[in-house]
Amino acid sequence: MSSSENRPSVTVEETPAAAAPAAEIQGGTQDLNDSSLYIHRELSQLQFNIRVLDQALDERKPILERLKFLLIFSSNLDEFFEIRVAGLKSQIAFDHEIVGPDAIAPRRALTEISEIAHKQIERQYTILNEHVLPELSRHGIRIVRRNEWSHKQKLWVRRYFRHEVAPLVTPIGLDPTHPFPLLVNKSLNFIVQLEGVDAFGRDSGLAVVPAPRVLPRLIRLPDEVCEGGENFVLLSSIIHAHTEELFPGMSVRGCYQFRLTRNADLTIDPEDVEDLARALRGELYSRRFGDAVRLEVADNCPKELTDYLLKQFGLTAAEMYEVNGPVNLTRLMGLANKSHAPQLLYPPFTPAIPKALKKEEDLFQVVGKQDVLLLHPFESFMPVVDLLHQAAKDPNVLAIKQTLYRSGANSEIVDALVDAARAGKEVTVVVELRARFDEESNLTLASRLQQAGAMVIYGVVGVKTHAKLMLIQRREGDELVRYAHLGTGNYHTGNARLYTDYSLLTSDQALCEDVHKLFSQLTGMGKVLRMKKLLHAPFTLKKTLLELIARETAHAQAGRAAQIIAKVNALTDPKVIRALYKASMAGVKIDLIVRGMCCLRPGVPGVSHNIRVRSIVDRFLEHSRAYWFANNGDEELFLASADLMERNLDRRVETGFPIESKKLQQRVKKELELYLADNSSASLLHADGHYHRLSPGGQTVRNAQAQLLERICGVGANPVE
């Protein structure tokens, strides 16, 4: 929980975690496989989600932004259950339990997850009902509950129900000819208790009402039936208030909303796949109806009904979550998006454009002379898009190659690739169809590119293509010159405004040649090609990172300057963790900025006493990956698409690329140091697995993202885009 004197308190019990290990070295040796040195990855992921929820209590943030954090917690938790919890349950069901370095078996992990999740979800609704909604109401933004509707509002809601809702609702009576329906993952539903006999003599007493998925969950009341401000009603309230109209002649004894979360992971056996796109289309349908993993119900639902629902879904009481409010909280995100109160949101800003790019319209001229490094969203992503658009129109550009992981089917990036293909250029796009929850969008954009004449490759079956690469080949005189973009984030212009990521635009001959070789490996077949500068998983990235850590270890052992700074989204790979432990034991000072999962325990005496781990959760999602090594004064820096996870380093196509300019190296290091000095949005990880939110106290407030906005964008000085 965030620690701030001005922040309202919500009582939270301590979440269970292993005690901090006392791993003092005996005789100069230490077993680095000791399970007490590792944190369970799923429990660590849950801790990250708690840090997100903490932001909803931070009164320094605008109230609609606090609401967003509270709802992002819901969205994150949905995915956590759909993927992480579902995965653990599948291991148990198939008797294939995997125990990691932490030695926590899936059954124990599920027990701890359930205990933590129940407390945090209860806390979430307390924050919503006691802090966020009252504060919104004070600013004239209200969700009007059924018992608060005025006579005018009741009349308007009734008309809305009869004209917009009732025609689309399909109530389902439960009897031997109408068994319990197969409900879509995360859909809003109602279990209804009925009394009476219908026209056919049926009197089962139960029915299910699925809420129409095509209708908005949040409806704004017209101003003429309200007394100022922005007033909303929930679709669930509208249906609840008019349930009897769905069962004419019957008496409704109770109506209670519920929502089911299902296993949403896709399972495709590479050995059985002949056409990946066709296989994925089939799996996308089945995702909506996977095995049940969680039941959310209104907290006033009678026990006989919750027991009935649990039995229908094959769930236990520990997998049921009773909530004091809407079961589908994520749908409230429209409240912030529909609001006409910009003062209740973060102030807008204009991403900066580097001076070198402002002076010259021809991007090839600029990148041909120097590397350009961009830090999004503080610096605009548009130079990347503009370079691609310029390439599409330039008659001297002969070929474009690009990877797409998440971009959106109708993005400007895809538009430019379509234009290039239609202009007769050789366009090759490696589309990763298995980007989780973006599979359908990627199938659509793949079809669009193919129709325009682009060559679309679906990467390598069994190994996701997660690298962010673009290569442009241009004829300049008698030479064929290559230009490349390498990034830590996706080619998604929307995400580039919300995620922190680095982009490198370069014409470095060796690096561009490496990018060309990697595309050749992805589209063709052959042995691993030797790269001069580019690190690439699953072949050289992990090996090289381990070597660089070992080199710092050797420097420290020899009494030379040794330090490591790494910024990643997750750290779970046991080999990397052991290497960092060895480096710490040798005296290497290690600072890790890990947004999400971290399985390493810092601060363990004699093992990780030289390692500090901090997590930054703030306005923008921290997404950039950077690896900096002191190397006895000859500093080295790599930016990467990969986190320090086994899946990234061993089972994905990823890239790490060097930043060789000393000026750019120092720039990135200074940016990393801002994060290390942050005392406002940072939480420190302790050896016991808990995070402690930092507070400035009497010190100067240091907020890395705010400082970057001020330094790079001059917040408040630029007009809004």
Cα–Cα distance between 102 and 29 in angstroms, integer?
20
Q: What is the DSSP letter of 184?
A: P
Please pick, among 466, 485, 536, 555, the residue that the annotation labels catalytic.
466
Return the H-helix or E-strand segment holding 575: helix 574-586
The DSSP line for 207-262 is EEEEPPTTS-SEEEPPGGGSSSSEEEEEHHHHHHHTHHHHSTT-EEEEEEEEEEEE
> Which two three-digit tokens encode residue 555?
């420097």
> Which two three-digit tokens encode residue 202?
């049926």
Cα–Cα distance between 538 and 489 in angstroms, integer?
18
> Within 10 A of 14 (CB to CB), how many other CB atoms are there?
8
Q: What is the DSSP letter of 274?
A: S
From the list 609, 622, 615, 540, the residue with the least C-alpha distance to 580 is 609
Pairing of strands 172-173, 499-506: unpaired
Query: Hey, is 631 helix, strand or coil?
Result: helix
Peptide bond into 377 cis (omega under 30): yes
Helix axes 63-79, 41-54, angle to 10 degrees: 160
Binding residues: 76, 406, 436, 499, 595, 623
Report yes or no: 654 and 641 within 8 Å, Cβ to Cβ.
yes
> Within 10 A of 586 (CB to CB), how many other CB atoms are there?
17
Helix axes 86-93, 106-127, angle to 10 degrees: 150
> Which two three-digit tokens encode residue 352?
């900066």
Whether 151 is catalytic: no
Report yes or no: 535 and 444 within 8 Å, Cβ to Cβ.
no
> Exposure pattern of 221-235 as b/e (b: 16+ CB <10 Å)?
beeebbeeebbbbbb
Binding residues for Mg(2+): 406, 436
Q: Burial, 644: exposed, middle or buried (Cβ in 10 Å; 0-12, 13-18, 19+)?
A: buried
Report yes or no: 586 and 4 within 8 Å, Cβ to Cβ.
no
> Which two three-digit tokens encode residue 198?
């219908």
If you search the block for the tokens 């599979």, which residue do you land on? 439
Q: How far is CA 164 from CA 180, 235, 328, in A?
A: 26, 11, 20
Report yes or no: 17 and 43 within 8 Å, Cβ to Cβ.
yes
Cα–Cα distance between 255 and 244 in angstroms, integer?
10
- Residues with catalytic function: 466
